[in-house]
């Protein structure tokens, strides 16, 4: 293994263990060397980069040729995997095309909470222009990952661009070494830090009583519980789905119980309106519940929402995904594959 690959694995594990940068199987990293791009495999967790094989080799030239012709093979990129180097038969990340779009050798994509709390705004590009004036950066409006996002990135990427903010999604940095990529990531995150309200207190025993017999469990996370006690947070996240991984792991937006309504009924009410039933249920002033069988990924995504919410204010012009955008994500085959993998 090359020293750069060793360094990439170390950075991946570090970034993956920071819930303010990456949650569950979200985010991905890559290294290009000798005509091959080693990219995180779909459904694997960056935080496991040093203990498991999570990187898949993809042949760069054929992938770039296919991107040039908008070839549907770019949706999953499985056709470009170097089978001779892929002993575990892993599939490349659903965001492989984002990484291939850069000529830089190292690309790091994170679902950075600070960045997302800007990227969910309708005025994200204008506001970030003030924050990121010292960077070679570009804003990419929300597109579904896969071919639609790759096409939009191609329109906006200049040869010098090494920072992308993806609307309603996250952050990408690119460099020629792992050390430079890490430096750039730290600098960008520092530039976009947003004040977060302090988290409310809650009473866990009252929450356990609340969940009893409902098939739900209280989230053990203070950042998640804040959604029930901080009116500004609740008002913002009640608007809908803020970013792709939320709907993929937790259904559309959140359910908020109305007077006397059970958590299950509140979730079904949203589902009946044609949107994927939300898994996260807020009982205002009392607590936040997740299904009794919630996976580690669902807990991590709930924490992500709590962390974004305490950085939003009532006056923020929040943009949520449209129903069409929500359905395009849940009906996308590459996403169905990612969700079908066993929870890490």
Binding site for Zn ion (CB under 5 A): 170
Nearest approach, Cβ of residue 68 and Zn ion (Å): 23
Instruction: Residue 286: count other Cβ atoms within 10 Å of its Cβ.
Output: 18
Nearest approach, Cβ of residue 83 and Zn ion (Å): 26
Nearer Cβ to Zn ion, position 170 or 291?
170
Report the chain's C-alpha Rg in angstroms: 20
Query: Residue 152 is encoded by which pair of tokens?
Result: 């939009």
Nearest approach, Cβ of residue 77 and Zn ion (Å): 15
Q: Could you give phi then psi for residue 24, rounded to 5 degrees?
A: 55, -130
Residues contacting 322, CB < 8 A, separation 6+: none
Looking at residue 237, the DSSP 8-state letter turns out to be H
Nearest approach, Cβ of residue 37 and Zn ion (Å): 17
- C-beta of residue 196 within 8 angstroms of C-beta of residue 308: no
What is the spatial distance between Cα 309 and Cα 230, in angstroms, rounded to a whole number? 9
Dump strand ranges (E) for 185-335.
Answer: 216-218, 255-256, 281-283, 287-291
Nearer Cβ to Zn ion, position 91 or 229?
91
| DSSP-derived pairing of the beta strands 137-140 and 163-166 | parallel
Q: Could you give phi then psi for residue 29, rounded to 5 degrees?
A: -130, 160
Nearest approach, Cβ of residue 40 and Zn ion (Å): 11
Nearer Cβ to Zn ion, position 230 or 325?
325
Nearer Cβ to Zn ion, position 43 or 170?
170
Nearest approach, Cβ of residue 281 and Zn ion (Å): 25
Percent of the chain that is helix, strand, coil (3-state, to 5): 45, 15, 40
Nearer Cβ to Zn ion, position 170 or 287?
170
Nearer Cβ to Zn ion, position 156 or 232?
156
Looking at residue 90, the DSSP 8-state letter turns out to be P
Nearest approach, Cβ of residue 108 and Zn ion (Å): 11
* CB-based closest residue to Zn ion: 170
What is the spatial distance between Cα 56 and Cα 91, in angstroms, rounded to a whole number? 7
Task: Give me the residues paired with residue 92 across strands.
Answer: 41
| DSSP-derived pairing of the beta strands 36-40 and 55-59 | antiparallel
Nearer Cβ to Zn ion, position 167 or 170?
170
Nearer Cβ to Zn ion, position 16 or 170?
170
Nearest approach, Cβ of residue 58 and Zn ion (Å): 17
CA dist list (Å): 285 to 36, 102, 257, 342? 52, 46, 11, 34
């Amino acid at each position: 293994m090359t020293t750069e690959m060793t360094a990439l694995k170390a950075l991946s594990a570090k970034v993956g263990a920071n819930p303010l940068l990456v949650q569950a199987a979200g985010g991905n990293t890559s290294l290009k060397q000798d005509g091959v791009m080693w990219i995180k495999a779909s459904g694997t967790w960056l935080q496991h980069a040093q203990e498991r094989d999570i990187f898949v080799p993809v042949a760069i030239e054929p992938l770039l040729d296919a991107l040039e012709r908008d070839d549907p093979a770019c949706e999953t990129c499985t056709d470009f995997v170097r089978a001779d180097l892929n002993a575990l038969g892993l599939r490349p990340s659903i965001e492989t095309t984002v990484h291939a779009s850069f000529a830089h050798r190292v690309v790091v994509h994170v679902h950075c909470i600070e960045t997302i709390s800007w990227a969910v705004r309708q005025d994200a590009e204008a506001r970030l222009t003030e924050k990121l004036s010292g960077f070679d950066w570009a804003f990419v409006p929300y597109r579904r990952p896969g071919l639609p996002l790759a096409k939009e990135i191609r329109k906006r990427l200049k040869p010098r661009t090494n920072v992308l903010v993806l609307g309603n999604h996250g952050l990408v940095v690119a460099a020629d070494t792992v050390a430079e990529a890490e430096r750039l990531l730290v600098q960008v995150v520092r530039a976009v830090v947003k004040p977060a309200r302090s988290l409310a207190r809650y009473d866990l025993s009252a929450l356990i009583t609340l969940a009893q017999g409902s098939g739900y469990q209280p989230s053990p996370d203070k950042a998640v519980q804040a959604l029930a006690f901080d009116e500004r947070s609740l008002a913002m996240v009640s608007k809908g789905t803020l970013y792709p991984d939320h709907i993929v792991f937790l259904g559309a937006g959140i359910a908020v119980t109305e007077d006397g309504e059970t958590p299950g009924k509140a979730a079904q009410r949203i589902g009946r309106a044609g949107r994927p039933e939300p898994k996260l249920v807020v009982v205002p002033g009392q607590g936040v519940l997740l299904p009794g069988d919630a996976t580690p990924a669902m807990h991590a995504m709930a924490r992500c929402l709590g962390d974004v919410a305490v950085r939003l204010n009532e006056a923020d012009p929040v943009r949520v995904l449209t129903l069409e955008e929500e359905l395009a994500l849940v009906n996308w085959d590459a996403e169905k594959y990612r969700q079908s993998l066993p929870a890490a």
